[in-house]
Every structure is written in structure tokens, then in C-alpha cells.
């Protein structure tokens, strides 16, 4: 890892837990559920990355394959084709570190060569066996996200999340990824029923026993609407509400589409929780 990328990575990880951090979502996809097709051109992608950074995100998360339910899977060649025109330009053009949202080792390796500081793997190092070794060799941070191949209404989702994390952390340890560069994500909205998403959400505080930072990615997700029945998943209010409750439960990083609004709410939340003596 280049010295400048390592410095950005280290600043990001050092800030975790000191203040709520926001990860800005940048989808270079034609079919994402919320912003598919908006940032496919290199110029649009770069402009959006700059906007996210200017609004205050701590890291820009770039992905080129939609992970929404029923999304068509693409090859590593196609994913790399979507990424390559814009990725290095984004890395060089924003002050924040950049993460790559992928589960493919070849794509992760390409992104790390171009300057990715973190690999955000929605399959928690378990789909492509080589991705953990790529992360270790590149000295990249890793986001381990819980996922399942299919929904199972009968599954003990809390137990499943813990078993999944235990396997992923064992993979990371064997690959040589230090715990200081690992983040856990319970995978809200990934192969879970509405009830299971709610159960997973209510367990956030108990994830503290892993002694690792927790990331929540609930922004604009369909399960919010299924809980209320009124389409709240499409509203900014729904995303902010979930993130504030997650922050109260101990989550440290929040993956969002609307950086400025979520950051303002989370920053105020954190300030209101300060002891009176520390408020100037």
C-alpha cells in the first residue's frame, strides 16, 4: 500500500469511536435500487465522490455490482470494466480514503492496486476464498458483512450472524488481517425477513463483545418500509431514524446515500450525549 493511502486508512481507523463516522455510497451501477444509472460515467462518478467528501463523509464506498435483492450477478470482468475508468481518479481526487464494495478477489486486487484503503465485502470473506489474502497482502481494512444465500424464516438469525462472524474472523486471522483493521456489519436487508432484520437491529449493542467497530448500512433499504407499511424506506427520515438508534446502541460507522443530512443528525446526537462539562 502506498504511503499516502496508508495514511488515509490510518486516519479513518483512528477516528472510529471518537465521533460517528459516515461512509458515503457511490454506486457505479445501472441497476442499484436507489441510484442506479446516475453515476455510471467517469465524470459523474468523480463529481459525486467529490460531493460526498465535501459533505463530510469519512470514507467513500465505491461499488460496481448491485447487491439489491434479485439483482443480476455480473462477471469480475464486467465489474472491473465499470470500475476502472473512474476508480483511480476518485482515489486521487478526494481527501478521504476510498473503499471498494466487492466480493470478488480479482476486483478487490485491482482496486487495491489503484488505491483502495478498505475492502467492503458483503459476503464477509466467505464467497471468494482469495479475497482475505488480497486484503492482507494489500494491508487493506476489511468490512465483514453478514449474508446468506437465501432467506430462511425459521433461521435463528442472531445465532446465524454470530456463527458467520466467527467463521469470517477465523478466515481473517489465518490470512493475517489484524483485528485493528476489521469492521463488522450485521447486514441489515441482506437475505433476512422483516422480523429478522428487526432482531438483528436489536442485537447491535450485544455485538460489542467482539471488541470491533460496527457499521450499519440501512440507508433507503426496503425492509424499513416493510416494518411500517408506509414506504419509509424511500425517505430520508427513515434512514436517519435507524442510524440514530443504531448510534445509541453503539454502532460507529453509517453507510448512507445522504451524507450531509445523516452527518448533521449524528453529530448533533453525539454532542447532546456529551457530559455538560465538555460542552463549550
**Is 48 a catalytic site residue?**
no
Distance CA 43, CA 50 (A): 11
Residue 61 forms beta bridges with which residues?
25, 99
- CA atoms within 13 A of residue 207's CA, in its CB half-sphere: 34
| Local structure of residue 121 (DSSP, 8 states) | E
Dihedral sign, CA of 223, 228, 229, 230?
negative
Among 104, 221, 222, 278, which one carries the catalytic annotation? 221
How far apart are alpha carbons 93 and 98 in whole angstroms?
10
CA pair distance 76, 152, nearest whole angstrom: 28
Asked if 221 is an active-site residue, the reply is: yes
Residue 236 · residue 205 · CB < 8 Å? no
Among the listed residues 162, 220, 255, 271, the single catalytic one is 255
Strands (DSSP E) found in 28-65: 59-63
127 near 108, Cβ under 8 Å? no
Active-site positions? 221, 255
Amino acid at each position: 500500500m502506498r504511503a499516502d493511502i496508508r495514511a488515509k486508512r490510518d486516519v479513518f481507523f483512528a477516528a472510529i469511536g471518537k465521533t460517528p463516522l459516515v461512509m458515503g455510497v457511490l454506486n457505479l451501477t445501472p441497476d442499484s435500487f436507489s441510484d442506479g444509472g446516475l453515476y455510471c460515467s467517469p465524470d459523474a462518478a468523480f463529481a459525486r465522490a467529490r460531493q460526498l467528501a465535501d459533505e463530510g463523509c469519512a470514507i467513500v464506498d465505491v461499488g460496481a455490482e448491485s447487491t439489491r435483492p434479485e439483482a443480476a450477478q455480473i462477471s469480475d470482468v464486467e465489474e472491473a470494466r465499470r470500475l476502472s475508468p473512474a476508480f483511480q481518479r476518485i482515489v486521487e481526487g478526494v481527501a478521504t480514503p476510498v473503499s471498494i464494495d466487492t466480493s470478488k478477489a480479482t476486483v478487490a486486487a485491482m482496486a487495491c492496486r489503484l488505491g483502495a484503503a478498505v475492502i467492503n465485502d458483503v459476503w464477509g470473506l466467505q464467497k471468494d476464498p482469495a479475497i482475505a489474502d488480497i486484503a492482507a497482502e494489500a494491508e487493506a481494512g476489511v468490512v465483514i458483512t453478514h449474508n446468506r444465500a437465501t432467506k430462511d424464516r425459521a433461521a435463528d438469525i442472531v445465532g446465524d450472524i454470530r456463527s458467520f462472524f466467527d467463521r469470517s474472523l477465523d478466515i481473517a486471522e489465518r490470512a493475517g488481517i489484524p483485528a485493528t483493521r476489521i469492521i463488522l456489519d450485521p447486514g441489515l436487508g441482506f437475505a433476512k425477513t422483516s422480523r429478522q432484520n428487526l432482531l438483528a437491529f436489536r442485537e447491535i449493542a450485544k455485538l460489542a463483545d467482539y471488541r470491533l467497530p460496527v457499521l450499519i448500512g440501512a440507508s433507503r433499504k426496503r425492509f424499513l418500509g416493510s416494518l411500517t407499511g408506509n414506504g419509509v424506506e424511500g425517505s430520508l427520515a427513515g434512514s436517519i431514524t435507524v442510524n440514530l438508534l443504531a448510534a445509541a446502541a453503539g454502532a460507529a460507522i453509517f453507510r448512507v446515500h445522504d451524507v450531509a443530512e445523516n452527518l448533521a443528525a449524528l453529530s448533533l446526537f453525539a454532542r447532546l450525549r456529551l457530559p455538560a462539562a465538555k460542552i463549550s
